[in-house]
Each structure stands twice: as structure tokens, then as C-alpha cells.
């Protein structure tokens, strides 16, 4: 059985129905509470509660699913939630059943470093809110746009967390955007540091989890696209998973944009959307 977490249930019906049909899976979309009315951690807690219920009661007459064949998945913000939930299950030994795989489609993985090449190149990206807008709603704090210069971090924080957001794991062809070396020796704004302190929580930025916990994760599928602020985080996450010997498959589609997997039907249907989702289906069939 496949559990899919998506930001809006209705708008992702074409994706979830395609996965259900082609992967021969039961798909559950979680209609979780949304920010800003319900800030962090309401949404991710809702998704975790549903996932745990399915895993705990899958063999009931009502659900009748194989609890040993459950995947946790999501795209964009849903990918963030999926990564957080996967980590919760991986780090808690008391669970009788846990997701077998995680599927992350252009996931939002961190708000620590907003000066990665993809953030510089794709600052104004169609289909994506700005990071300050997203964090203001999600954390229930007014976050200043200067976050894009990493003004929300102290030098000590940059020094401590840099090892988790390792630029060397980004393909060299993308790193050429750095015309001058970027250093972490500039102190951020004290007020913004206080407002944005939750971004250092791995439940907000799952890429900031330490290697010991990361190594406990289940096999992972990552899909990323070229025109996307979140692109580089996918490569960093892939690289870190490989370092700790977690099986990972990463499909990267260079010439498309964030959100394009949803263009499966209608007048704006894209061939690349079908190629992308069929890659997801292939991974599910081979690993679930």
C-alpha cells in the first residue's frame, strides 16, 4: 500500500489516481491542517498520525492492507513532511511497523542555506512561494526577505550546521554560479535569528539531521528538476544518504520546472510529466 502526502488533496487527484492505477496500490491523501491558520507542527503531526494509524491498523477489516509494504511520499512541502515522518519512524524503535520506502518529489528539505546555486538561479520561480512568505506562514513569525542572504543565522550556527548542507555534493556545473567564494563568517541579524530559530529544527529542515539518524532511514527515491530553487538540496540529500549507505535512487530532469509532474492531463499536458511519474511507478513496483 502506498500513502501519498500532498499539499492539497483535490488538486493532486490526477497524480494520486495515476499512482493508484499504474502501481496497483491503495493511495491515501492526507487533508492536513494548513498554515497560517495552523502553523508548525500541525500539518506534519496530522500526516504522522494518519501514517501511524494505517501502519498500526492496516490488518483491520476496514483497511486490509499489508503493513510491511507501505511507502511514505510527497512533493514539495509534502516532500518535506514525508522526509520528517520517515525520520520519525526510523529514529523510534518502538514502532512495530514502519514505512518500507520514502518517495520525495522535488522536496523542500532545508531553510538553513538560502544562498545555494539553485536559490540564486531560480529565485523567481513559477509555482513557488518565496521562502520568507513560506516561513512566515509556517512558523507564525514575520520573516524578513533578508533571509536570502542567510541573515537569519549566527556565525556559530553556520559553523555547526554547514556539514549537513555540504556544497561539495552539488554537481560542479551548478556551482559555477559562485563568482566569488561565499563564506560563513558574517553574523546575522539578532532579531531575525530569534524569529527564524525553528528552521534549524530537523522537523522543519530534515536535511539538518545528523548522520547517525540519517543512516537509519529506509531506501529512498528522489525526483528533482532543473528549474527549481529546491534542486540543489536534492543532490545534497542524495549524497549524504550515499555516504551513510542508505539505498537511494535519484532521477533528475534538467529541462523542466517545479510542479510539472502534475501536468498529466488537459490542454497543458506535458510528455515529461508522464515520463516523471512513470519513473516513480517503476521505483514503487521494484521496491515496495
Q: Which active-site residues does the annotation give?
A: 76, 228, 258
Compute the distance between CA of residue 258 and CA of residue 228 in angstroms, rounded to an integer: 5
Residue 107 CB-half CA count within 13 A: 33
Q: What is the DSSP track for 99-142?
A: -SEEEEES----SS---SHHHHHTSS-TT---HHHHHHHHHTS-
- Assess contact for 100 and 69: CB atoms under 8 A: yes
Residue with cell 550556527: 157
Compute the distance between CA of residue 118 and CA of residue 115 in angstroms, rounded to an integer: 8
Compute the distance between CA of residue 4 and CA of residue 28 in angstroms, rounded to an integer: 6
Amino acid at each position: 500500500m502506498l500513502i501519498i502526502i500532498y499539499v492539497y488533496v483535490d488538486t493532486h487527484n490526477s497524480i494520486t489516481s495515476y499512482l493508484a492505477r499504474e502501481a496497483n496500490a491503495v493511495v491515501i491523501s492526507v487533508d492536513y491542517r494548513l498554515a497560517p491558520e495552523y502553523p508548525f507542527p500541525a500539518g506534519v503531526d496530522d500526516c504522522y498520525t494518519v501514517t501511524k494509524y494505517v501502519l498500526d491498523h492496516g490488518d483491520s477489516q476496514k483497511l486490509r492492507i499489508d503493513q510491511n509494504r507501505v511507502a511514505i511520499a510527497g512533493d514539495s512541502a509534502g516532500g518535506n513532511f514525508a522526509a520528517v515522518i520517515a525520520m520519525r519512524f526510523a529514529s523510534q524503535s518502538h514502532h512495530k511497523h514502519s514505512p518500507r520506502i520514502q518517495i520525495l518529489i522535488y522536496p523542500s528539505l532545508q531553510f538553513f542555506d538560502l544562498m545555494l546555486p539553485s536559490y540564486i538561479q531560480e529565485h523567481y520561480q513559477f509555482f513557488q512561494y518565496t521562502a520568507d512568505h513560506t516561513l512566515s506562514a509556517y512558523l507564525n513569525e514575520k520573516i524578513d526577505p533578508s533571509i536570502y542572504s542567510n541573515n537569519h543565522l549566527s556565525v556559530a550556527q553556520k559553523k555547526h550546521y554547514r556539514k549537513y548542507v555540504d556544497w561539495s555534493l552539488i554537481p560542479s556545473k551548478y556551482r559555477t554560479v559562485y563568482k566569488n567564494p561565499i563564506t560563513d563568517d558574517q553574523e546575522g541579524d539578532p532579531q531575525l535569528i530569534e524569529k527564524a530559530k525553528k528552521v534549524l529544527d530537523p522537523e522543519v529542515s530534515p536535511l539538518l539531521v545528523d548522520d547517525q539518524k540519517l543512516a537509519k532511514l529506509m531506501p529512498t527515491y528522489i525526483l528533482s528538476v532543473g528549474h527549481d530553487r529546491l534542486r540543489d538540496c536534492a543532490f545534497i540529500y542524495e549524497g549524504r544518504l550515499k555516504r551513510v549507505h542508505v539505498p537511494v535512487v535519484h532521477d533528475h530532469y534538467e529541462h523542466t520546472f517545479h510542479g510539472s509532474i502534475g501536468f498529466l492531463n488537459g490542454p497543458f499536458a506535458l510528455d515529461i510529466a508522464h515520463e516523471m511519474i512513470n519513473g516513480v511507478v517503476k521505483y514503487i513496483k521494484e521496491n515496495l
